[in-house]
Structures are given as C-alpha cells and as structure tokens.
Structure 1
Amino acid sequence: MTKLTIVLSVFMLTSLFCLNAQEDLELKHRHELKLNLGSSVFIAFPEVSYEYLLSEDMTVGTSVGFGFDTEDSDGYSFRATPFLRWFF
C-alpha cells in the first residue's frame, strides 16, 4: 500500500511540474530555417525552407529548391513552394 501511495504521489508531482512548464511556454523562436539533406543527397535537389510561427498552431513559410541535371530528377531546375500549416 505504501508503494502505491509513493508512486501515485510522485506521478502527481511530476504532472504538476509538467503543467506549469507548459503554461510558462512562450514562443520566443519564431523563425525557422531548414535544409532538406535527404533530397540533397539522394536526388541532387537541395532544398531550403523558411518558416515563421504565427501562433502555437499556425505557421507560414516558403520552400526553395535548386535542381541539378541528373537522370533521377523530375525535370525541375528550380522550385519555390509557399505554404501555410495549421496544426490541430
């Protein structure tokens, strides 16, 4: 019985700390810059993406890629893709 009480009290304390940490979370880093290494290595199409966080569940950004003339490519030498992501 005491083991169960100890386990439950530890669980409740850790969950309270996690809830406080989530409430204090603030969007400080709103700009994200990404490099798609998978497409760079495998299909010779390096791609760079920029993403701006509007809120915790919505982002807007663009992705730009430059292709090289290879047999595996899909025929594009340049691609720019704007996007809006809504996480629910």
Structure 2
Amino acid sequence: EIAKKPVQTVVRDAAGVWVLSIDGLSAGSYTGKIVYVDQTGTHAQSEQMVQFILEEGIAPSPKPSATKKPVTPPTDGCKNQIKN
C-alpha cells in the first residue's frame, strides 16, 4: 500500500493566532519541530520541539438511507382474476 503524503495547512486568524493542521497522518506517536521563519527578515528564526500522539477515533455512525416506497400498479390488481 502506498502511504498517503501528509498535507500541512497553516492559517493565521484575525487575532494573530496560528493554527497548524496536518491531514493524512496515521495513528501513532510523532516527534518534530515547528519552525517559524519571518519572510520579511525582521525577526529571527524561531523553532519549538513538539511531540504528540494521534489516537484512532471512533468510526462515524452510518447515515440512514431512505427506503423506496412500494410501487402501486397502474391497473386494478383484481381485474381478470375470476374466470367463468
């Protein structure tokens, strides 16, 4: 099986809070670092070591599906049942 490459997304909200999201990681223990690089060169590079554990979540409940209504025949079902 080919491993899915994780996708990283970084968003800064209006209050200045950074949110890092990583999609595509399997359950397990991860160690790494977050590195902040100021693109303008005004601030020095900053890094912070991180360690986290991802646990497998519960599987979502299946969504109920609509059942089809019984089809009513277009003609009279009793027609031609009595033969003389």
Structure 1 length normalisation: TM-score? 0.30
- Larger gyration radius, structure 1 or structure 2: 2
Structure (1 or 2) with the greater helix fraction: 1
Structure 2 length normalisation: TM-score? 0.30
